Amino acid sequence: MREEYNKIPITKPSITKLEIDYVNDAISHGWGEKCYEYIKLFEKSFAEHIGCKNALATSSCTGAIHLALMALGVKSGDEVIVPEITWIATVEPILHIGAKPIFVDVLPDTWCINSSKIENAITLKTKAIIAVHVYGNVCEMDEILNIAKKHKLKVLEDAAEGIGSKYKNKRVGSIGDAGVFSFHGTKTIATGEGGILVSNDRSLIEKAAILNDHGRDPKINKTFWMENYGYKYKISNLQAAMGCAQMERVNELIDKKREIFKWYENGFKDWIDQGLVKLNHTQNFAVNGYWMPTIIFDKSLNVDREVLFDYMKKRNVDVRPFFYPLSSLPIFDNCEENIIAYDIFNRGINLPSFHDITTKEVQFVIDLIKSFFE
């Protein structure tokens, strides 16, 4: 067994002097008339990077999803199709609106929504499909968009985990009617907390912006006047300042995620070749940002995740469980017919992938996992 290292976290943001200088400037000077300067700059730089004409920065990706669904016309009583495997933040805004999430099974390789099963889930109440690029893996966007066009549905891309991922040379999040991203401290681009809504539809962003400012319409020149209620999911200038610094380093941060994944892929090559494990899958038409290197153990290994977690924790290595099927949570009706999601979740874990992780630390994680089974 290799020597044990200090704590190896699952992930954390990469902070340099650039981020600190930008945030210090926002603290010192970003008030009054300058209180939106970094926000506007962040929105502009992110929209350009993704390849969308418009962006609206928010306090969280959850907030961005809520605003997006409302701007897309989803109302109480409607149904929204979602993948069985995703974080709860994808579906909570559906519940906030009073709509209903309809869970569809995932593909066995990418763990993204199985487009061939979407049409069976469509009813007269269906208004939208949320395509989640889970762990950086890429959805089958052409198939999803064709189904949406056929049934006159809206498509929202949940690209919270998709920074750096591409579908046929288009960055994920820029392909559907709208896209959302997360800048939580665990993500490739971080602002501590934060999110963003992007779209090529200017009217959609304008609707979301009004909703995001307590219902106030900037075209109505009356202070403190609103004709409808709204919300407040605004990002702060301080967070946006950190985001601006991160955007200047975006290619570096994405490249490092891909490099880290390759270290894991090479380290597990013998097990991959034997069919003992599967890692994130990338189709030949896609590019993966590899936000979170993820491993699914073959049934033959008979893994007990909780025992494995305890084993890793005692050796100062932080790993996370693969997402539970959302319909397995007590707040939803169980959908065990989504057999792929229910089959793989308890055999999967996320691996440490913070920006400064070293090859030695990655190898230590690999050796620990292999020693657990030996």
pLDDT per 10-residue tile (average), the chain, 374 residues:
70 97 97 95 98 98 98 98 98 98 98 98 98 98 98 98 98 98 97 98 97 91 87 97 98 98 98 98 98 98 96 96 98 96 97 97 97 94
The secondary structure element, H or E, covering residue 158 is strand 154-158
Q: Backbone phi, then psi, for 319, in 5-degree steps? A: -125, 160
CA 305, distance to chain mean position in Å, is 23
282/164 Cα distance (integer angstroms): 13
Query: Going by C-beta distance under 8 Å and a sequence separation of 6 or more, which residues neighbour residue 339?
Result: 105
Question: Helix, strand or coil for residue 2?
Answer: coil
> Which DSSP string corresponds to 82-130?
EESBS-GGGTHHHHHHT-EEEEE-B-TTT-SB-GGGTGGG--TTEEEEE
Give the type of residue at 105.
D
Residue 2: predicted pLDDT: 46
Domain boundaries, the chain: 17-105+112-248, 250-373
Other beta carbons within 10 angstroms of residue 19's beta carbon come to: 21
- The architecture of the domain spanning 17-105+112-248 is 3-Layer(aba) Sandwich (3.40)
Give the list of residues 6+ apart from residue 109 with CB closer than 8 angstroms, or none.
278, 281
Annotate 246-275 with b (16+ C-beta within 10 A) or e (fewer).
bbebbeebbebbeebbebbeebbeebeeee
> Which fold, 250-373?
Aspartate Aminotransferase, domain 1 (3.90.1150)
Indicate the SS3 state at residue 295: strand
pLDDT of residue 226: 86
Q: What is the pLDDT of residue 325?
A: 98
Tokens representing 298 are 């073959």
Question: How much is the pLDDT for 94?
Answer: 98
CA 180 to chain centre: 8
* Residue 369 confidence (pLDDT): 98
